[in-house]
Chain A
Amino acid sequence: EAGVTQFPSHSVIEKGQTVTLRCDPISGHDNLYWYRRVMGKEIKFLLHFVKESKQDESGMPNNRFLAERTGGTYSTLKVQPAELEDSGVYFCASSHGGGNTIYFGEGSWLTVV
């Protein structure tokens, strides 16, 4: 069974450009999460989908970040326009249901220059 997959694994963009990160959760997992770790700090929650609905988006830093999960399968996280402080690693995770283990992808490393 495939794990959580993320694309791209690494991305370098200039300030002001747009980047779209994609996450494919483990098949059958209704819960999908986005997290990020910026500059060696703690990993912080961004948002949580249950199927295609946003269950909790309290961690989204500002309106430059847009997450979607059309059809309740894969998800995208768009940063537009990117700023220097957006550099970091963006993790996607998924779980089957309540109380179950949350599995992470390998992360998408974003560098904004």
Chain B
Amino acid sequence: AQKVTQAQTEISVVEKEDVTLDCVYETRDTTYYLFWYKQPPSGELVFLIRRNSFDEQNEISGRYSWNFQKSTSSFNFTITASQVVDSAVYFCALSVEIYNQGGKLIFGQGTELSVKP
């Protein structure tokens, strides 16, 4: 069975602080995909990143960076110099494909990030 755990339910930081959102996953499959989504107050789910299990390179996109470590089954997300607009609920998710036809996402519980001015 697959599982995603986001142990931090709420995080509050002051603007310009760095913040890391933790994500730990469980799966027995060797091929899988990891995702991060952002849900701002407006409600939509915004795609941030997708990683496959064979690519352990860390990724940086502007103020966002992701650290994928298979040894610890973690896919953590760091926001550098946080801004008020980063306030949102962030979801980590895992997908295991079925016969190359896509697979359902298993979501973590979400981490609500509040960035105060």
Q: Which residues of A contact B (CB under 8 A)?
A: 30-31, 33, 35, 41-45, 48, 50, 55-56, 59, 89, 91, 93, 95, 97-107, 109
Contact = CB atoms under 8 A, between A and B. Distances in A.
B50 interface: yes
Interface of B: 33, 35, 37, 42-47, 50, 52, 91, 93, 95, 97-110
A6 to B, nearest CB: 10
A59 B35 CA distance: 20
A66 to B, nearest CB: 19
Contacts, number: 76
A107 to B, nearest CB: 5
A102 B35 contact: yes
Q: Among the interface residues B45, B50, B93, which one has the most CB atoms of the partner chain A within 10 A? A: B45
B91 to A, nearest CB: 6
